[in-house]
Amino acid sequence: MAEHTVKAFDEDITRLRGLIAEMGGLAEVAIQEALDALVRGDEELAEKVVARDKRIDALETEVDKLAVRIIALRAPMADDLREVIAALKIGGVVERIGDYSKNIAKRVGMIEGRSRFEPLTLLPAMGELAGEMVHDVLTAYAARDPDLAREVIATDAKVDAFYNSIFRNLVSHMVENPSTISSAAQLLFVARNIERIGDHATNVAEMVHFAATGAYPPEGDR
């Protein structure tokens, strides 16, 4: 991006992007650790994930304030305005991704008979895929890379397919083993959360594309 006459404006934008990246980094780790905690039944790790979500929330507030301040004081135009607006929206979405991870972590303690629980083995693969989407979309944001953003959007279909198969798997598991219904239902929510993380990563990808090119990606990609 070309430099601005007002150097402070560049500094503000750089700081804004730094804040988004920091949020994203935290969200990535949160997904990974929430799923690790779920698979291993590690409630301590789960608590750590829940505790760290506060930091994401605090960063979101900071992003909001800074974005509003930039708009109020510098009246950005064109790509600068898109950058600020995108950051404002991405901040909100990444915060949601953090919340979903927190939600997964909160369910760790509610699942019984973990080692014999077959549907549990499918979730990490799905989580891995969603985690990769978040990772890639943040890289796309950092590099302002619309092509990578479009790739992320394309990956969402796989996550959705995963969700459908896990859903069926869990339902049939519940039918066959009524005693595990409460645990299986929890896993259903976990799968749902991961699916939502994928959708949110897609939203971020659209905004990255918008900030970089000024247009939303073509409908076929979504």
Partner 1 sequence: MGMGQNFPVAGIALAAVTFVAMILLGVDAVIALSVLLVWVGSLMVAAGRPPEPPKAVVRQQLDLGSISDLIENFSTPLMITERNTIALANRAARTMLGPHVVGQDARVALRQPEAISLLNENRNGEAIVRGLVRRQDIWQINRQAINDRLAMLELTNQTAEADISRAHTDFVANASHELRTPLAAILGYVETLREDEGKVDTPTAQKFLGIIEREAQRLHALVSDLMSLSRVEAEKHELPTEQIELAPLVERAARDAAGSARMERLDIQFAAAPRVIGDLQQLEQVVRNLVDNALKYGADDRPVRVVLDLATADQARIAVEDEGEGIAPEQIPHLTRRFYRTDPGRSRASGGTGLGLAIVKHIVERHRGRLDITSELGKGTRVVVRLPLAEQEALTAEGIDEDHDGDEREPETQQLS
Residues that bind partner 1 (CB under 8 A): 14-15, 17-19, 21-22, 24-26, 28-29, 32, 52, 128, 131-132, 135, 138-139, 142-144
- Closest contact distance (angstroms) between CB of 55 and partner 1 is 8
User: Residues 206, 216: contact at Cβ < 8 Å?
Assistant: yes
Q: Per the structure block, which two tokens stand in for 196?
A: 């939502």
Q: Per the structure block, which two tokens stand in for 176?
A: 């066959």
d(CA 176, CA 186): 17
Using the minimum distance from each CB to partner 1, give the nearer residue, 121 or 172. Answer: 121
- Closest contact distance (angstroms) between CB of 24 and partner 1 is 5
Dihedral over Cα of 164, 165, 166, 168: its sign: positive
- Closest contact distance (angstroms) between CB of 39 and partner 1 is 16
Using the minimum distance from each CB to partner 1, give the nearer residue, 110 or 143. Answer: 143
- Closest contact distance (angstroms) between CB of 170 and partner 1 is 26
Phi-psi region of 144 (alpha: psi -120 to 50; beta: other; left: phi over 0): left
- Closest contact distance (angstroms) between CB of 106 and partner 1 is 20
Task: Please give the span between the terminal C-alpha atoms of the chain, in angstroms, as a whole number.
Answer: 27
Using the minimum distance from each CB to partner 1, give the nearer residue, 57 or 128. Answer: 128
N residues, the chain:
222
Q: What is the DSSP letter of 115?
A: G
Nearest to 128 by CA among 24, 201, 30, 32: 32
Using the minimum distance from each CB to partner 1, give the nearer residue, 33 or 188. Answer: 33
Using the minimum distance from each CB to partner 1, give the nearer residue, 26 or 84. Answer: 26
